Structures are given as structure tokens and as C-alpha cells.
Amino acid sequence: MKVFLDSIGCRLNHSEIETTARQLLANGHQIVTEIAAADTIILNTCAVTAAAARDARSRTRQFHHTNPQADIVLTGCYATIAPQEVANIEGAGRVVVNKHKHQLVQMLDPQAHLSLPVFDQEPIMREFLAGSLGAHTRAFIKAQDGCDNKCTFCVTTIARGQGQSRHMGDIIAEIQALAGAGYQEGVLTGVHLGSYGRDLSPNTDLATLVRAILHHTDIARLRLSSLEPWDIPDGFFDLWQNPRLLPHLHMPLQSGSDAVLRRMARRTNRANFRQLADAARAAIPHLNLSTDLIVGFPGETAVEFAESLNYVQQIGFTRLHVFSYSPRPGTAAAKFPNQVPGPVKKERTRRMIDLGHELSLAFHQQYLGQTVNVLWETAVGADSAGLRWAGYTDNYIRVTANGPADLGNTITPTQITAAQSDSVWGVT
């Protein structure tokens, strides 16, 4: 079977589609990077915003028009919260909800064995990853799924259910195999990574997992994907004394107004978040502290938005992922009164994004003239000076530089020569 794979949304979705790819390869199937070449197409969908659902519909139609014979399988959060709506998309074939996603390969190939070792196929895997899904020299590793919190805007708990942790031994084995296969960096992903281990018996926690990974594996670089700003045990940031744990924390704040945070049912507030940010900065040199922000949440007044903008400036985040509030089916907030009018949301979103650009540029400018280590990922073009590569520093700054054909998946010292809000230029 020739399979084309695609994924929308979070790194957890990416890590799941990477696992599906390895299982398919281990069972003798072929991964193709051309839609037209596929017998089967699998799309891991996202439901976090209306835009993500729209994207899934347009990709499905595009798959169908490009390859009408292909069997199109739709899985993921959008397929889980609206299976009938997804089944009605032109070209949609099977709809596989999240709780059955782990059996997807067996649904396609009843003879398939999901327990087969899957990492000795890595050279093909990396080639496939380079060909589609956006060249990762970083491997995304699923540590946890689901969430027990009830943030009022969030559809993820509806789509992914309660918090579930993978066994530590499986995670360590996967990361060691990836390191053995040449991956330089592993990214731990989850819906609520901070709750890792709570559901295991005996229970454990994220700090114990990170310590065990750094002790039992040879992975050169370990990154945490996203960490909700609560349930972080004292001393957690001391883990970063190990230089293999990368100085980048993505902690979703969502709003800088306490009144809005209460309506979101977020288990944090301005004072607690500041304390956490200060503790992280004190413990982790060169910390890149990024965040998610929702603008235009129901009932958000001009005063609350101004509070949020000011607070974000004061914390001095280094990168903002800004979302214009999008009511999601089944969430409490979708029924809240005082939904903010579209034009107001749009204007506020633009102002928050502009602030994000200012903050990122200021952060990047601190590195002008400095030499930093960069893990090179993708050749992004060529110019008179030769091939142009893109990669990331250990604190997750995107760097572009000219370099030789074999720069990919190597870590080299790079001097930063120019800075923009979304990336920097360097010489390596």
C-alpha cells in the first residue's frame, strides 16, 4: 500500500502521524510524498480553531481532486468532535476518531503488527519527513494525551478526553532509538505535559521523566513542547542545569487580564504567572519564553484588553502565538454572552501581533554579534553565496545562513549578523 500522510495543528498531531508512518514502514508499506501516487491518504485533523477545521476541509477536497481513486482517511480532533460533518466532506472516506487512532494501521492492513520495531527504518523515515510534513531533524515524541482541566474555550478535552500518560520505559526506548537513528533533538509533546505521570500506577511526574530521559538516552538535545503554567513542582527549573535540556519554554497564558482568565477557567492568574516566569528566568540562562494568547474572548472589554496588552509587554515574552477567539462547538465559552464583534477582535488581534513582533525583534537583537549553536534542518533556497539553510538555536531562534550541501542535521557554531522579528541571519 502506498500511503500519503499529512497533519494539521499541534506537535502532538505531528508526533502521532510520525508514529503511524513508522508503523506503516515496519509493516512493509510505502510512504509517498506525492498525493497522486497514493492508494491511501491519511490526514490528522485539528479542531482548535474554525480556521483549522476549514483547512482540513480544503485539504480533503484537494486530495480528492488530485487523486479521486485514493481512500482518504480522516482522523484527529476535528474528525472526533464532528464525525458526521467530516464524513460529508467531498472525497472523505473513513473517519477514525481519536480513541481508535492508535489502531489506524491495523484498520488499513488487518495483517499489520503494531508491535514491530519501527526505528530501523529511520533513513527512509527521515527522507519521507524531509519530503513532506516539513523537514524535521527533530523528532516529536508523544509523552501524554488528553487533559483533566476544563478551560471554557478549549475543544481539546472534548476531542482527546482525560489525561493519559505513556509508560516511561516506552518513551525512553523511543528516544534512545531515535538518537541511534541519527536524530539530534527530541521534542516531548502532550496535551497537558505538566500532568505527566499522574494517572500511572505508581504515579510519577514530568520532572522524573525528563531526568530519566537525560540519564538513560544519548539524545543531544531535549525540548519540551508546551507547558501549562500550573502544577509545576518547586525546583522543576533546576533540571535546566543539564545543558541538553533546551532553554525554551512555551507556557500558554491565554490572557493578561485576571477577569478574562477567570472566565476562561484558567488555573493561573497574573501574579502566579509572573512568579513562574521570574523563577524560570532566574534558573535558565538565555531562556526563550513564548506563549499563546486568545484575543476577543467573550466579554473582553477594552479595559481588559489593555490590561492584557500591558501585562504581556511587562512579562517580556519572546514570541507570541496570537489567536482571535473562535467559538468551538461543545465548549462552554461558545454560549457565553457578550461575544466580541468581528472587527473589534480583528483590530485587537492585529495590535497583539504587532506587540509580538516588537518583543521578538528585541529578543533577537540581543544576539547580534554573538556565536550560538544551530541545529540545521532545511535547505530553503540558494543565492549567489550558495545554498541557504534554516535551523534553530538551542533556545529556539530560527536562523538562516549559507552553508555546504551536507549541513543538514548538523549542529554548528554560528555568528549572528542580522535580526528580524521572525528570525535572524548568521554566518557558520
Enumerate binding residues for ligand SF4 (CB under 6 A): 147, 149-151, 154, 156-157, 191-192, 228
Q: Least distance (Å) from ligand SF4 to the CB of residue 261?
A: 11
Compute the half-sphere exposure of residue 346: CA atoms within 13 Å on the CB side of its CA: 3
With respect to ligand SF4, which residue has the nearer C-beta, 157 or 349? 157
Through-space distance between the first and last CA atoms of the chain, rounded to whole angstroms:
42
Helix, strand or coil, per DSSP, at residue 289: strand
Nearer to ligand SF4, 151 or 188 (CB): 151
CB of 226 vs ligand SF4, minimal distance in Å:
8
Rounded CA separation 192/165 (Å): 10
DSSP tag of 249: E
Nearest Cα residue to 398 out of 322, 288, 312, 317: 288
Cα Rg of the chain, angstroms: 22
Strand 185-189 versus strand 288-295 pairing type: unpaired
Q: What torsion, rounded to 10 degrees, do the Cα atoms 140, 142, 146, 151 define? A: -30
In the complex, what is the shortest distance from the CB of residue 247 to ligand SF4, in angstroms, rounded to a whole number?
23
Phi first, then psi: give them for residue 134, nearest 5 degrees: 85, 115
Residue 294 or 407 having the CB closest to ligand SF4: 294
Nearest distance, CB of residue 228 and ligand SF4, angstroms: 5
Smallest distance from ligand SF4 to CB 325, Å: 13
Nearer to ligand SF4, 184 or 195 (CB): 195
CA distance 151 to 155: 9
Which residue number, 25 or 154, has a Cβ lying nearer to ligand SF4? Answer: 154
Shortest Å, Cβ 165 to ligand SF4: 14
Q: Which is nearer to ligand SF4, 65 or 150 (CB)?
A: 150
